Amino acid sequence: MAINTTAVIAVSFILFFSAGAAFILTSESKEVGDPVVSVLAAANFNGSGIYCNEDLDINDPEGWGGKVFMTPGPGSIQHEMLKTLAFNLGFYFALDGPAKNRSTIYWTIVTPGQQSDQYAKGYVDGGIAWEPAFSTILGTYAPGNPSGIVAYNVAISKDIEDGHPCCMIVAKNTFIDAHPELIVKFLLAYMESVEWVNEAKDVSSPNHETLIQQSWEIAFGGSGAVPDDKRPMIENALRDINFDYEIDGLRDYVASLITRFENSGSIIYHISDTGAYAEKLVNYDILGDIVLNRTELTDQYKGSTMSSTPIRLGVLANDLHQIAVRLAMVPGIADTGSDSFFEMYGVSIAMETPVAAGGAVMGLFASNAIDIGVLGLPPTVIRSVNGL
């Protein structure tokens, strides 16, 4: 998928307000080394949303002032989109505190998996979350629910930045250099899984029910048959996510993110040539070669014996964006007997315990606990520049 860079809203100068006082975060001059990880493929585009206890309009400032929204935290694309929206509506954007005013939209950090519980307590007015947390909250707090609490669908993320990149397949460069063939086989298997998911999203697909069941178990944390009242949540969540492995055009977006995060203070070092750094961080050569020579490489590697080197994989908990990676590990999904997509290519996966957010996945890289991780593009960019 080519990135629609014209849809990216660049924020060139951002003020933060804390306890009523403004301050500006500036970047430190420092020679930044080459990234220790590379983005190899995408997992998804779009697939998040804003909800609120009031039916707000993203094109009208009425009702927004003084509201408190949960976000996954600074450095997440969800936080950045809400911040961009706040500025577009003419508001300041500040960390929540005891003092409130109508000229500001406030934020507080709550991981998407915990937002539903916090919303029910009434301490906040809304939030922005990735799927399936967003659809779960809308379904749980739909008008007429017994609790009397209502969550309105304010906007899905494509309404703010259509085509925005989200989760990525990221690998440690030392692992790429040491196991180039294994990386190719991993990506071949993953690409097949992405295509399976996209085909299975169609309600007429013979695989649709399997996708719904697996999404229920993997992303929603359910067990047993999918309850009737949960099915619409799963369908809605899948519908709003664009699953894709292509990263054509991603380097331009990464360059814009570096500038965006440096201006906001999330990146603490100055990158004089953002394009050159983005060129190093996004490795399109491997995926590009696979796409160009896929038939030959599939014939070569499909049916390989299992690798003696397991890939240590880091993923997010309860995240539907990463369903293609998780499904690639499930035996029998590919209708080839008992094999998973990865096993079909001789790839052994050792998955680490899923973590709550992308920063924690980068932490697993830093502690040398994983070889490949699936996480959002913003934390990948920020932690790469700032240093693992």
Residue-level pLDDT at 29: 53
Strand partners, 93: 105
pLDDT tens sequence across 89-111? 999 999 999 989 999 999 999 99
Strand partners, 153: 51
Q: Indicate if the pLDDT at residue 175 is higher than 50.
A: yes
Quickly name the fold that domain 47-159 has. D-Maltodextrin-Binding Protein; domain 2 (3.40.190)
Q: Which residues contact 22 (CB under 8 A, 6 or more apart)?
A: 15, 16
Q: pLDDT tier at 21 (50, 70, 90 boundaries)?
A: very low
Residue-level pLDDT at 15: 31
Higher pLDDT: 32 or 174? It is 174
Q: pLDDT tier at 30 (50, 70, 90 boundaries)?
A: low
Lowest mean pLDDT, pick from 9-18, 132-141, 204-213: 9-18
Domain ranges of the chain: 47-159, 167-386
Asked whether 363 and 350 are in contact (CB, 8 A), the reply is no
- Work out the average pLDDT over 365-370: 98
State the Cα–Cα distance between residues 74 and 109, nearest whole angstrom: 8
pLDDT tens sequence across 303-348? 999 999 999 999 999 999 999 999 999 999 877 678 999 999 999 9
What is the average pLDDT score of the chain?
Answer: 91
Radius of gyration of the chain (CA): 21
Residue-level pLDDT at 75: 83
Lowest mean pLDDT, pick from 7-16, 62-71, 255-264, 303-312: 7-16
φ, ψ (nearest 5 deg) of residue 299: -60, -35
Q: Could you give the C-alpha distances from 310 to 29, 190, 313, in angstroms and in order?
A: 40, 15, 9
Which is it for the CA torsion 114, 117, 123, 128, positive or negative?
A: positive
Q: Which residues contact 208 (CB under 8 A, 6 or more apart)?
A: 200, 201, 202
Q: pLDDT tier at 265 (50, 70, 90 boundaries)?
A: confident
Picking from 270, 343, 358, the residue whose alpha carbon sits closest to that of residue 311 is: 343
Neighbours of 18 (CB within 10 A): 10
Lowest mean pLDDT, pick from 16-30, 236-250, 321-335: 16-30
